[in-house]
Amino acid sequence: MNTYDSLNEQQKQGVLTTEGPVLILAGAGSGKTRVLTHRAAYLIGEKGVKPYHIMAITFTNKAASEMRERIDALVGEGAESVWVSTFHSACVRILRRFGERVGYGGGFTIYDADDQKNLMKEVCKRLEIDTKMFSERSFLNVISSAKDELIGPEQFAADAQGDFARSRQAQVYREYQARLHANNAMDFDDLIMKTVELLKFDAEVRAYYQDKIRYLMVDEYQDTNTAQFELIRLLSSGRRNLCVVGDDDQSIYKFRGANIRNILHFEQYFPEAVVIKLEQNYRSTGNILKAANAVIAHNAGRKEKSLWTEADDGDKIEVLQFDSAYEEADEIARRIARRVGNGDCNYGDVAVLYRTNSQSRLLEEKMIMAGIPYKIVGGVNFYARREIKDLLCYLKAADNGRDDLAVARIVNIPKRGIGAVTLAKAAAFAYEKEIDLFGALERAEEIPGLGRSVSKLRPFTDLICDLRESAKDSGPAAILQEVIERTGYVRELEAEHTDEAQARIENIDELMSKAVAYEQEATQAGEEPTLRGFLEEVALVADIDSWDAEASHVVLMTLHSAKGLEFPHVFLSGMEDGLFPSYLSIVADNSDEEIEEERRLCYVGITRAMESLTLTAAKMRMQRGETQYHMLSRFVKEIPDELVAGGLREAKPHEERGAFRGGAHPAVSMHAMKTTPLAAQTYQAKNFGTKIEKTALSYAQGDRVRHGKFGDGTVAAINDGGRDFEVTVDFDTMGRKKMFASFAKLQKID
């Protein structure tokens, strides 16, 4: 049988349509990776394209590794020449070779979020900015957004003229970028932005890569931002053989800069494009897909498509609402334990997904109490842990002598009696002489006022110089071992004799294992393992890359982290208006767009499930130290009744826990809940022992009211949402908005 006979007709069309721009709209679970890998095999085997003229680009190392393995299996010899990479890894590779043309040395350091924050602290201190009023994170977010849109410091400053706040941000942006450059460092946004700059303004480099990459394939295209779109356009504009694969219904990273218009308007950017829809799903049962289709159909900003499957309908979806979040978490744990105990599944078959990280605490507590093995994905990144950062900074200082952040972090680790005053004097000297911090430390005797600190600095500078010599002919594992031995880092931890210290030693052992594994993999690939290569690999790793699909534990993760994964049994917890969709999306100026993004996130959650899906909600939940009351999520109500076990609006109590389906108490219908008289009510908060007073509103439907941000409007509707009232107002200039009364603080006007 021909290799391509296993593909359905739409998949086959995606494989065989090789020339010109192609947009493959790949619904969840429709086999997009299969199409991409077979497409690469077809280009090589049937079209005679040299493997080194093909590039496949995606977002995560995990996805890139999977694609790499599948292409190798299909193509065999020569497949290793296909360039399979993440966006950031591809840009690093380009900049390592041609970075000098945009002002960076080949040994530049890649700064992670922690490095960025530390650098921003220095910038704010130098500019005398009060970080209690303007946080480092707020400046970093503004700068990241600007880089996503390819707006540099100069253009940002020009656009900010006349606006005091934006001008202040421009000043910070300029200084931040100057410090990065002085440190020969780039943040993640720079990797894309500087590569675009290189390709746009250097005709020689652009021509080189356009000739090299004759067929470009891009996965998860709906997640690209403006800078990534421009990178793709520049790389593919030579022959225009661009194939992008994505699903606008799974565009959920707007907060990271993803621009859904890239996929929605693809045919405008590439008028000759061929559009192919993959709608047959190979993952989920019929009822799960029908629920997903019903929810996402409420979005206006999407391309029309509908998932279907040849599989059976399977079990109906369960919707469970509890009095409190404690009961919700408890019942989820009970159900998992019962299913595993009955032999229906293994722990590794189950995922509990939630909208916000804060929801994990209760779930984690209940898993522990029930003796259920679990893992939280998306917690503290391994490489952000203190001991790992310390040792990596030694390696960074050995590799890139201009990295002031790395040097400043480790100059007194272990303690050498070098204090903040000494470091400040050295930094001032470096600034005055226009040299890097390490260069200043090497000239310590020239720095006024250091006194006895000069002798304390010498062992440190000697160590770094020795490590740099070692790096010339030793691999990262040997250099790491040298750091550990000469600093006594592990010996100090062993002397503490605590569980925490032992855990940190185990993390260091894991870092050593990573260094050894890197060397083995590089050697097997015919490459020379280098310190720079190791630092690059660990800098580009993501939390999700460490997820092990074969591990036997329940996975707890946010919905954003779950994208691209699948599980036989899925619990979506916290399905409440105000939590999911979030309160901020409900009251946002562009509420319709924000709600649609939240709905896409719900669609992603639903389509992670293969066999069973359970949606849970709590009437009462502690948030930010306050007990909040919420109505059942509007997304749950968008699922047709016939797809839900017991019927979505049938108020049947759960047989074991007193939970109930349908969003209403067994004694109260949904209609009754929505039409409760607007009188003062008092609620006893279970598990918290506090009484929360909800007073009558000073306005009613039809009254004119004033909002501090949206101005004047007319009350269109008032619904009782439990602890709070949900008020709908038609504002004179801002349109219709829904909000909770306690937050809105509306004032009745005559």
Residue 684 pLDDT exceeds 60: no
pLDDT of residue 683 exceeding 90, the answer is no
**DSSP 8-state assignment for residue 242:** E
Top-confidence residue, 733 or 199 = 199
The answer to whether 376 touches 551, Cβ cutoff 8 Å, is: no
Q: What is the pLDDT of residue 60?
A: 85
Q: Rounded mean pLDDT of 137-142?
A: 90
Is residue 672 predicted with pLDDT exceeding 80?
no
User: What pLDDT, on a 0 to 100 scale, did the predictor assign at position 648?
Assistant: 44
User: Among residues 10, 11, 33, 177, which one is catalytic?
Assistant: 33
Nearest Cα neighbor of 250 from 262, 260, 261, 239 is: 260
Q: What is the DSSP string of 300-336?
A: SSS-----B-SS---SPBEEEEEEEHHHHHHHHHHHH
Average pLDDT over residues 500-506: 82
Lowest mean pLDDT among 128-132, 346-350, 479-483, 604-608: 128-132
Q: Grade residue 140 by pLDDT with cuts at 50, 70 and 90.
A: very high
* Strand, coil or helix: 431: helix
- 624 pLDDT band, cuts 50/70/90, is low
If pLDDT is split at 50, 70 and 90, which confidence band does 649 have? Answer: very low
Give the pLDDT band (50/70/90) at residue 721. low
pLDDT tens digits for range 159-216? 999 888 899 999 999 999 999 999 999 999 999 999 999 999 999 999 999 999 999 9
244 DSSP 8-state letter: E
Burial class (CB in 10 A: 0-12, 13-18, 19+), 679: exposed
* Rounded Cα gap, residues 553 and 550, in angstroms: 9
The partner residues of 216 in beta bridges, in order of sequence, read: 55, 242
Other beta carbons within 10 Å of 520: 12
Q: What pLDDT band is residue 268 in, cutting at 50, 70 and 90?
A: very high
Check whether 668 has a pLDDT greater than 50: no
Distances (CA, A) of 631 to 255, 622, 636: 25, 14, 11
pLDDT over 80 at 638, yes or no: yes
The fraction of the chain above a pLDDT of 70, given in percent, is: 90
Q: pLDDT at residue 687 above 80?
A: no
CB 194 within 8 A of CB 110: no
331 is catalytic: no
**Which residue out of 115, 189, 190, 220 is catalytically annotated?**
220
From CA 242, how far away is CA 720, in angstroms rounded? 52
pLDDT recorded at residue 656: 40
Which three-class secondary structure state does DSSP give residue 436? Answer: coil
Q: 11, 60, 109, 250: which is the annotated catalytic residue?
A: 250
Full DSSP string of 120-176: HHHHHHHTT--TTTS-HHHHHHHHHHHHHTT--HHHHHHHTTT-HHHHHHHHHHHHH
Catalytic residue among 608, 637, 661, 738: 608
Burial label, 330 (beta-carbon count in 10 A; 0-12, 13-18, 19+):
buried
Supply 374's token pair: 């679990």
Residues above pLDDT 90, as percent of the chain: 55
Rounded Cα distance between 577 and 321, Å, is 13
pLDDT value, residue 678? 28
Token representation of residue 243:
């194939």
250 as an active site residue: the answer is: yes
Tell me if residue 33 is catalytic.
yes
Is the CB of residue 353 less than 8 Å from the CB of residue 571?
yes
pLDDT band of residue 722 (cuts 50, 70, 90) is: low
Query: Does the active-site annotation cover 686?
Result: no
Predicted confidence (pLDDT) per residue in 447-491, tens digit:
988 888 888 999 999 999 999 988 888 899 999 999 999 999 998
Residue 385's φ and ψ, nearest 5 degrees, are -70, 150
**Average predicted confidence (pLDDT) for the chain:** 86
In terms of phi and psi (left: phi > 0; alpha: psi -120 to 50; beta: otherwise), the region of 279 is: alpha
Question: Does position 742 have pLDDT exceeding 80, yes or no?
Answer: no
Q: Would you place residue 679 in the very low, low, confident or very high pLDDT band (cuts 50, 70, 90)?
A: very low
Q: Tell me the two tokens of residue 2.
A: 């021909």
706 is a catalytic site residue = no
The pLDDT, as a whole number, for residue 247 is: 95
Residue 548 a catalytic site member: no
Q: pLDDT at residue 67 above 70? A: yes
Q: Return the pLDDT at 743.
A: 67
Average pLDDT for 63-87: 87
Residue 695 is predicted with a pLDDT of 58
Q: How far is CA 11 from the centre of its chain?
A: 29
Which of 148, 219, 247, 482 does the annotation list as catalytic?
A: 219
At 508-564, the pLDDT tens digits run 888 888 888 888 888 887 888 999 889 988 887 655 555 555 668 999 999 998 988
pLDDT for 691 beyond 50: no
Helix axes 136-148, 164-182, angle to 10 degrees: 80
β-strand pairing of 609-623 with 626-629: antiparallel
pLDDT at 625 (0 to 100): 59
Q: In which element (H, E) is residue 409 found?
A: helix 404-410
Specify the pTM: 0.73
